[in-house]
């Protein structure tokens, strides 16, 4: 269930809003005159959303490359190389 608050809460209860955003990792929707106006969220939540958007863009780009005939690499080979980099020799 979204957390919806009037714009006056930004002035009167800013600390409560900040605490909620950090604790729940959820945005707070702010209304002005009963209509949605803006969204407030923690930096952590914002950065996580931006990272997901970037990942989705890269996936779309990769799918387009495959459709256009680009040669892909085997997932298991790539995963194996990454494990070696992270954990050392297998």
pLDDT, position 89: 63
pLDDT, position 70: 85
Out of 31-35, 61-65, 73-77, least confident range: 73-77
Where are the chain's structural domains?
A: 1-70
Interstrand relation of 3-6 and 28-32 (parallel, antiparallel or unpaired)? parallel
Rounded to whole angstroms, how far apart are CA atoms 50 and 47? 5
- CATH topology classification for 1-70: YefM-like fold (3.40.1620)
Do 30 and 6 contact (CB within 8 A), yes or no?
yes
pLDDT, position 90: 55
pLDDT, position 30: 98
What is the residue whose two structure tokens read 């890269």? Answer: 58
Query: Above pLDDT 90, what percent of the chain?
Result: 71
> What element of type H or E holds 79?
helix 75-87
């Amino acid at each position: 269930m979204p957390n919806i608050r009037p714009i006056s809460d930004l002035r009167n209860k800013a600390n409560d809003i900040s605490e909620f955003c950090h604790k729940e990792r959820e945005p707070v929707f702010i209304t002005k005159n009963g209509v949605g106006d803006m969204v407030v969220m923690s930096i952590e939540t914002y950065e996580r959303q931006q990272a997901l958007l970037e990942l989705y863009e890269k996936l779309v780009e990769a799918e387009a490359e495959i459709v256009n005939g680009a040669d892909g690499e085997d997932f298991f080979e790539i995963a194996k190389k990454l494990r070696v980099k992270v954990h050392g020799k297998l």
